Amino acid sequence: MATFIPSSPVAHEQLGRGGGVTEPPVRGGGDDGQGDDGSDYVGRLRRARLGVAVAIAAVVMIFVSLTSAYIVRQGLPTFDSPSSSYVRDWGEVSLPLALLMVNTAVLLISSLTMEGARRSITRQSALAPVRSIPGVSLGEEWRFPWLGLTVVLGIGFLAGQCLAWSELRRRGFFIPTNPNSSFVYLFTGVHAIHLAGGVVALLWAGLTSLLHKPLESRRIVIDVTAWYWHFMALLWIYVFALLQFAR
């Protein structure tokens, strides 16, 4: 009886996840807290990174769909009764460019400080086994507060966005003023909500330090938040460019 399924042992070099040479780690099912004891932390880091990559794909789809709506709505004509003709109703928005440039700089700098936090905790993790050897001391080193600085800059960016919205309102551009202004608020708002999620993750990372969670767990939180944060910075540049140059 024929089958397409290979039954012979599969060569190791052909295996992806699910086939490796080493025995797979066993961790408990949910509820057991096994995931926090530092065992299989390389696997947990890999899974967390994969999870963030998948989450980023979902966020990309949200912005892709918003972008398609932006482009389609931009080209739609509307019927103008007085002239009995179809006209473009897209409208103009005067963006507070200087303020948005400052916000962009703040976010980009926060991306750098986030990378600093990620590298710092990676270094700590790498040195942890050495520190644990009895009699070995690497001395107390002063650590720059990368994480705290990133939180401050992240909140600063969000505050800057609030200022930008106030400035837009002061200039007479509200959400329903015209389709262009609707999309400006929509894009910046949805981005801000996603970035606020990143700030919450950073605060959680800080909390894990205060709660004396294992170094490995802290590293995982900071590492994946860093990747998400970099993506948020890139996404903002995309949003800003779209709103400024494709209007």
Could you list the residues that contact another protein (CB under 8 A)? 1-10, 14-20, 23-32, 34-35, 39, 43, 46-47, 50-51, 54-55, 57-59, 61-62, 64-66, 68-69, 72-73, 76-79, 89, 175-176, 179, 182, 186, 190
Closer to another protein by Cβ: residue 72 or 98: 72
Closer to another protein by Cβ: residue 9 or 139: 9
99 contacts 160 by C-beta, under 8 angstroms: yes
Closest CB 55 distance from another protein, rounded Å: 6
Burial 108-143 (b: 16+ CB within 10 A, else e): ebbbebbbbbbebbeeebeeeeeeeeeeeeeeeeee
Count CA atoms closer than 13 A to 171's CA, side-chain side. 15
Closest CB 146 distance from another protein, rounded Å: 26
Q: Give the Cα separation of 97 and 164 in Å (integer).
A: 9
Closest CB 247 distance from another protein, rounded Å: 16
Which class for 11: exposed (0-12), middle (13-18), buried (19 or more C-beta within 10 A)?
exposed
Closer to another protein by Cβ: residue 109 or 186: 186
Closer to another protein by Cβ: residue 69 or 246: 69
Q: Give the Cα separation of 37 and 42 in Å (integer).
A: 12
Closest CB 180 distance from another protein, rounded Å: 11
